[in-house]
Structure 1
Amino acid sequence: MTNTEDEGIQRSLDMDWVVSLKKRVSDTKFCERSTKPTIYRVPDFLKSVDPQAYEPLLVSIGPYHRKKPHLQAMNQLKWKCLKYVLGQRHDMVLEDYVDRIKELETRARDAYSEEVEMDSNSFVEMMLLDGCFLMLTIMKRTETMNSEESTWMESASSLTPYIVARDIFMLENQLPFFLLETLYESAFPPNPSFRMLTFKFIRMHFSTKLKRSFDNIETYHHVIHLFLSCIDPTTNHSIGNDNQSSTFGFLCNSISKLVKTVFVSLPSKLHSFLLSQVNKKCTVRDFNPEEDLHDTPWIPSATVCNEAGIHFVRKKRGKSFLDITFHNGKLEIPQLRIEDHTNSLLRNLVAYEQCSKDSQFLVTSYVVLMDCLIDTAADVELLQQPEIIINDLGDTQQIATLFNKIGTNVFIDRYGSYLLSVYTAMRKHRDTRCNKWRARLNRDYFSNPWAAISLFGVLALFVLTVTQTTFTILSYFRSSN
C-alpha cells in the first residue's frame, strides 16, 4: 500500500465514530455488580444436547421464563398465594412486604447472571408473587400449612405436584434464597426454619434417607445450592457418617466447624476462602499428586471391570447417591432410582456446577464416573442386579443413553474430582497380574459358550493325557521291581 493510499484512509476517518468508541470505553465498568451472580442461564453448549431438560413445563419462577405463553396459567394461583400470605399476620400489610423486597432489590437483581430488564415495580411484584408461590408450595408439600385452609391450593395443583417439583429444580427457575427466607420469616414463625422445610421438600421428592442439620451461619444461594449441600459426601451433615470414624475425618470436621464459628468475624471473602480450602483438603485426602501425575479420571465399563474381578455392591449406608467408595475389589455405590425427571434434575445440577466459580464438581464427577461404567444396556443390567440402579423407565438402553449423553460438553477439573482416589484404586486393582489374567481368560474363553466348551475340552484332554502318562510310568517301575 502506498503512502498516498495511507493518507487517504487517515483523512477518511469518521471522528463521530471515534467519539462514540471513546464514550463506550468510558461507560464500560470493570465491576458492575456488588456481588457475583449465582442464578445462571444454562450455556448453549450444554442446552444444545438436550434443550427440554432445562425448560420449565408448568410454572415460571424468576425473570428468565416469565413471558412464555404456556407458563401463564399458573399466574392466577400466584395471586391466591399472595392473598393467603397477607392474611397470616394482622400487623403486616402489603406495603410492609413490598418495602422489605424493595430493600433487597439490588441484591436480588445482582443474583442473576443476565441483567434483568424490568422496572423496579415490575421486578418487585414478580419477586413477591413468585416468592409466595414457591414458599407455599414447599410448605404445602411438607404439610406445614393447615390442610383445611389450603384446599384452594389442592384444587389448583393436586394433579401436577411432581411437575411443579421438577420446575422448582430448574437452574433458570430459581429465586434468591435470602429473599425466600425474608418472606417466610415475615409471614410465619421461623420454627421450623425455611431451610429445614426446603430440605424436607428435597427428601420427599428425591430420597427419604438424606439427613441434614442446619445452622444460621451457612448461606444458600437458592434451592439447587441447598440441594447440593444436602447430598455432598465430603461433609459431615448426615448421621452415621463413616468419615467420623477416621482420625483424619474427625480432624477435618473439627477444623471446618472452627472456621465457621470462631473465624466468622473475618471478612467474608477471607472466611469463604479458608472454608473452601479446608473442604478441599478433606475432599482430596486420598490423592497423591506425585503418584498419580499421569492419571486421568477414566475406567473401563462395568462389564470389563467385572471380568477383572471388580465387584459392584450397593452401599446401604451412603450419605447420598454420590457417596461412592472402593475397597478390597468392591466398588460400593449407593442406590439411584431413575425416573422420568432424573435426567432433568442431574443436568440442572451439573449445569449449576459448570457455571459456579466455587463449584466442587460433585454431581459432575458422579455422572462422569457413571458414564465410564455404563456403555451399553449390559452394563446397566449388571448394576441393576445388586439394586444400585432402580429402573423406573423400563428400557435399560434408555438409561445407558442418559448417562452417555449427560457428560457431553461437560468440563471437570482433572485433579478436582472427589472420586479421583476411586479411579486410582480401581485401576491399580485391575492392573495387577492375576486380575489381568482373569480378565483375559474371561474375554477370550468365557465370552461365548462355544469358547468355554472348547476350553473345558482342552483341559479335559490335558488331564487325561497327564493321567495316562502317570499310569504308564508307574506300570514301568512296578514291572522293573
Structure 2
Amino acid sequence: MGIKNLSSDGKQSNRSITRDEWLISIDKYIEGQKPKIERIPSMLREIESNKQCYEPLVVSIGPYHHGKQELQALEKLKIRFAQQFHQACVNQVSSVNQVSINDLCAKVAEVAGDARKCYEEDSETKKIDEESFIRMMFLDGCFILQYMYILTDEKGVDQLQSVKSSNLLFVWRDLFLLENQIPILILKVLLEFRFKSKQERTDLFNNFFELMRVKPPEESSCINEVNKFVVKYCPVNVPKGKNQETLMNWEESPHLLDLMRANLIGSSGPGDKKPDSTADYWCSYRSVTELGKSGIHFRASETTNFTDVDFKSYYIYGKLMLPPIVVDDTTKPLLLNLAAYEMSPHGPSELKVASYICLMDSLIDHAEDVKELRKKGILLNNLGSDEQLAHLFNEIANQVVLDPLAYADVKNQIEKLRKNKVAVWATEGLHNHFTSPWTFSAFLGAILVLVLTAIQSYVSVFPRSSSPH
C-alpha cells in the first residue's frame, strides 16, 4: 500500500509513494520558518467558559480577526490616531525635512514581507493581498503607538476627549490577546519617525507598562515618610526598577504580549531557585486556609514579578511571600493569553506565567482564601465578591500546563514545615486556645496570678529578717 508524501512544510500530499521514497522525504525534510504570532492551541480554545477571552471585543490588530463586522466601529478611530501620529512626527522635524504620511507607509511597506512571515498562513490570512496587508500594518501600528502615547504623556490627555473611557479599557484588553498582535518590527520603524532618541522610544514602552504596576504595601515608618518627602520636593533621577529593566531590549521581542510577559515575570527571583537533589519536586501546595493552620503566614513580596515568590522558615512558623496583583475584568483574558502563548508550539521555553496561575489556583479554593490574601495586600480585588475571584483562578487553571520545577524550593520548604510536629502542635494550641484577644488576655492574667502567688508563698516561707544579725 502507498504512503502519503511529506511536503516541505510538513503537510501530506495526495500522491502515494513507496516506503523508501517516504523515508527519504523524512531524511530531507526541512522545517519552515516558525511563526512568531500563533493561533490559540486547540486544547485551550475548546474550553467553553474561556472562549471569549481569546477574541477581541472592540479592535482587531493584525490579520487573524481583521474585517470582522463587530469590530468595525473602531476602524475610524484608527484613521484618526494615524493622523495624530503623523502630525506628531511632523512636529519632531524641521520644516526643511518634512515627513509625509506616504513616507511612514512606505517604511512599513519595506518590512511588510518580514512581518507577514510572523503569522500562520491559513485560509483567512491568505485572503489578504499584499497591499491590504501593508495598509493594515500601517493603521494598526500607528493606532497602537498613538494609544500608548495618549495614555502616558500629559500632552496626550487632550486627545482623549473624543474617545469613550470604556473603549480605552477594552483596547487595553484587546492589545494583549495572542491572536491580536503585530510584530514589534512595525512599531520600531514607525517610532523612528516619532522619536529620534532610542532612549525616548524605550521610555514610551516603559511608561506604558508602568501603568499596570501594582505598588506593594509599604509599612509606615519614619524612613518611608522621609523618602516620600524627598521624592516629592527634591526630584532626582531615580534608577529604573527591576521591572523596567526587562523592557530595555524591547526591540528584540516579537510582539506586545511577549513584552507584557517580560514585564510580569521580571528577572529571576527567589521562586526560580531549584531544590537540592533530595527534594520532592512533586510536593504540592495546600490552600491558604490549610497552610494557615500549619503556622504559615502570608506577606506581599517587594516586587510584582511572578517569580518573586519566597518562603522564610522560623522552625515553628513560616512566611510565604507572594507578588501583589490587581484582579479586574482584564485579568482573566490576560493570564489566559499569556498561558496560551507559553503553551503554543513556538512560544517561550519556560512556563513561568502558567506556573504562577497553577500556584494561585492551588492556594485559592474558597472565598476565605481570597479574604486572607486581600487582608495581606496580595490580592487587590476590583472584580467583585471574593467568591468570584476564587472561581476565576480555579477556572483559569483548567488545562494549563505548569513546570513541575517552578517554585520547587519554596514548595519543599513548606512541606518540611508542615511535617514539623512541634510547629503543628504549637499552631494548633494557639488556634484552639487563643482564638480571640480576650482568651489570650485571660491566659496572661492567669500566668500573672500564678507568679504573684508563687512569690507570696516564697516570702511567707522564707521571710526576710527585719534586723541585721
Q: Determine if the TM-score, normalized by the shorter chain, exceeds 0.5.
A: yes
Deviations 1:262-321 (A, max 9, x none): xxxxxxxxxxxxxxxxxxxx9744422x212x4315211111111011111222x22535
Q: How far apart, in 2, do the equivalents of 1:144 and 1:221 lie?
A: 28
CA 217–137 in structure 1, closer or farther in 2 if over 3 Å, else same: closer
Q: How does 1:22-421 map to 2 (within 5 A)?
A: 30-31=29-30, 33-34=32-33, 36-49=34-47, 50-87=50-87, 88-89=89-90, 91-115=98-122, 116-117=125-126, 118-143=128-153, 151=159, 154-190=161-197, 192-207=199-214, 211-213=243-245, 215=248, 219-235=252-268, 284-288=272-276, 290-292=277-279, 294-296=280-282, 298-315=284-301, 317-328=302-313, 329-355=318-344, 356-415=346-405, 417=406, 419-421=407-409
Deviations 1:142-171 (A, max 9, x none): 1175556xx3x5303444211111111111
- Identical pairs, percent: 31
Deviations 1:238-261 (A, max 9, x none): xxxxx7xxxxxxxxxxxxxxxxxx
Deviations 1:79-112 (A, max 9, x none): 2223333443354334433332233223212222
CA 330–448 in structure 1, closer or farther in 2 if over 3 Å, else same: closer
Q: How far apart, in 2, do the equivalents of 1:368 and 1:217 lie?
A: 28
- Asked whether the equivalents of residues 304 and 439 of structure 1 are also in contact (C-alpha less than 8 Å), the reply is no
Structure 1: runs of 5+ lacking an equivalent: 1-8, 11-17, 236-242, 244-281, 454-459, 461-481
Question: Residue type of the partner of 2:350?
Answer: Q
- Asked whether the equivalents of residues 57 and 163 of structure 1 are also in contact (C-alpha less than 8 Å), the reply is yes
CA 130–287 in structure 1, closer or farther in 2 if over 3 Å, else same: same
Deviations 1:201-224 (A, max 9, x none): 122134367641354596111111
CA 313–304 in structure 1, closer or farther in 2 if over 3 Å, else same: same
Question: Residue type of the partner of 1:304?
Answer: E
Structure 2: runs of 5+ lacking an equivalent: 3-12, 91-96, 217-240, 440-445, 447-469
- Asked whether the equivalents of residues 36 and 119 of structure 2 are also in contact (C-alpha less than 8 Å), the reply is yes
Report the Cα offset of residue 60 of structure 1: 0.6
- Asked whether the equivalents of residues 54 and 170 of structure 1 are also in contact (C-alpha less than 8 Å), the reply is yes
Match of 1:435 in 2: 423
CA 31–439 in structure 1, closer or farther in 2 if over 3 Å, else same: farther
Q: SS of 1:131's equivalent?
A: helix
Q: SS of 2:162's equivalent?
A: helix
- Asked whether the equivalents of residues 111 and 186 of structure 2 are also in contact (C-alpha less than 8 Å), the reply is yes
Match of 1:478 in 2: none
Question: Residue type of the partner of 1:405?
Answer: E
Match of 2:233 in 1: none
Structure 1 stretch displaced more, 194-203 or 403-412: 194-203
What is the aligned residue count? 383
CA 297–187 in structure 1, closer or farther in 2 if over 3 Å, else same: farther
Per the normalisation by structure 1, the TM-score is: 0.71
Report the Cα offset of residue 448 of structure 1: 11
CA 382–86 in structure 1, closer or farther in 2 if over 3 Å, else same: closer
Q: How far apart, in 2, do the equivalents of 1:387 and 1:131 lie?
A: 37
Question: Residue type of the partner of 1:142?
Answer: T
Compute the RMSD of aligned alpha carbons.
3.5
Report the Cα offset of residue 65 of structure 1: 1.0
Report the Cα offset of residue 325 of structure 1: 0.7
Question: Residue type of the partner of 1:65?
Answer: H
Match of 1:6 in 2: none
Q: How does 1:444-459 map to 2 (within 5 A)?
A: none
